[in-house]
Homo-oligomer: A and B are copies of this chain.
Amino acid sequence: MKIQELAEKIGLSVHTIRYYEKEGLLDERHVQREKNNYRTYSDEAIERLKLIKKFQGIGCSLIELKDILQDHDTNTRTNQQVIEWILQKINEIERKKEEFDRMLETLNFMLTYRVTLETDPEKARSLLAAAKLNSGK
């Protein structure tokens, strides 16, 4: 498939896809050239780009991904190093999930405050005051 088709399939711009290639995130398994110099993408390219998007979603940089996503036979990283990285990422995500839970609590309080403000501003202020006392503990 050609670049635009791929772009539409995965929701990236053609610019971004070419940029990722330039940054070394795609290799010959994902993209080849035709006689006219046009890029042709394999189905593996779809999977690869989806994986990149996933990893980006959890806050990985492109450089990090480049290092890690390379096949085991290219030896910029040893298998042990990759295992270390994966374990670390798993840990990071666990911690982020906890952070999200704390954030949900904060947002829920903000919501209660704002909703109360609509109907009973007096009560809202007392909620705020109570929260301040709690935070100061």
Contacts and interface: CB of A to CB of B under 8 A. Distances in A.
A87 B57 CA distance: 21
A93 B100 contact: yes
6 contacts: A54-B103, A57-B96, A79-B114, A83-B118, A87-B111, A89-B107
Interface in A69-109: 72, 79-80, 82-83, 86-87, 89-90, 93-94, 96-97, 99-100, 102-104, 106-108
A70 to B, nearest CB: 13
Nearest to A112: B86
Contacts of A118: 79-80, 83
B83 A111 contact: yes
Nearest to A86: B111
Interface residues of A, number: 34
Nearest to A54: B103
A118 B82 CA distance: 12
Contacts of A57: 96, 99, 103
Given A86-B107, A100-B100, 16 more contacts: A54-B102, A54-B103, A54-B106, A57-B103, A72-B114, A79-B114, A82-B114, A83-B114, A86-B111, A86-B114, A87-B111, A89-B107, A90-B104, A93-B100, A93-B103, A97-B100
